[in-house]
Amino acid sequence: MVRAATLGLPVTFAIIGGSPVQFKPLFEYNKSIYQQSGHDMAQFEVGVHVHAFSELIVKK
């Protein structure tokens, strides 16, 4: 992740457990490395891949 930010490349976080809010510090760290490396923040790209379950409730 640090290398991607340093090179100005996009990154995708794969969250396979826990709350996405727990990953905010990692996102902020990636953002700060990107900025410190002198890249244009208008080009900053981050993706998030999250597994989730939804419950369908059917009334009979």
* Residue in 4, 10, 2 with CA at minimum distance from that of residue 44: 10
Res. 1: pLDDT tops 90: no
Type and span of the H or E element at 11:
strand 11-15
Range of the domain at 18: 2-50
Tally Cβ neighbours within 10 Å of residue 34: 25
What is the C-alpha to C-alpha distance for residues 50 and 26, in angstroms, rounded to an integer?
Answer: 15
Q: What is the pLDDT of residues 3-43, one digit of tens each?
A: 999 999 999 999 888 888 888 999 999 999 999 999 999 99
CATH number assigned to the domain comprising residue 24: 3.30.429
Q: What is the pLDDT of residue 53?
A: 65
Q: How many domains does the chain have?
A: 1
User: What is the predicted pLDDT for the residue at 46?
Assistant: 93
Contacts for 44 with CB less than 8 Å, ≥ 6 apart: 31, 34
